[in-house]
Amino acid sequence: MNKDESSTDRIAHWLHRAGLNEPAAFLLDAAGPLLPFGAQVAFLLNPLFGRAKDSLNDLAQVLEDPSQVSLLVENLRSEGKR
């Protein structure tokens, strides 16, 4: 991945490659009020994962910000149309 890419772009590309872009977009929309809790869980799990540490940190930071979550959902849905 390109270092200049935003966290939301990196997460969207990863989910798209895994074939999870539509389910993830649906889950992010449905879990709206619980997303800050999910961010805290990601922060707690961060030290347990060596190589995935940066990815979990990126995900946690995105989940904390509702505007970033909206951007991620938008990216996930547009990835599915490509």
Tokens of 7: 């966290």
Cβ neighbors of 7 (< 8 A, separation 6 or more) are 58, 59, 61, 62, 68
Residue 5, CA atoms < 13 Å, CB-side half-sphere: 14
pTM of the predicted model as reported, rounded to 2 decimal places? 0.78
The pLDDT confidence band at residue 2, using thresholds 50, 70 and 90, is very low
* 82 secondary structure, DSSP code: -
Average pLDDT on 14-39 reads 91
Q: What pLDDT digit, counting tens, does each position of 30-68 carry?
A: 998 899 998 998 888 887 876 666 778 888 889 999 999
pLDDT of 79 reads 64
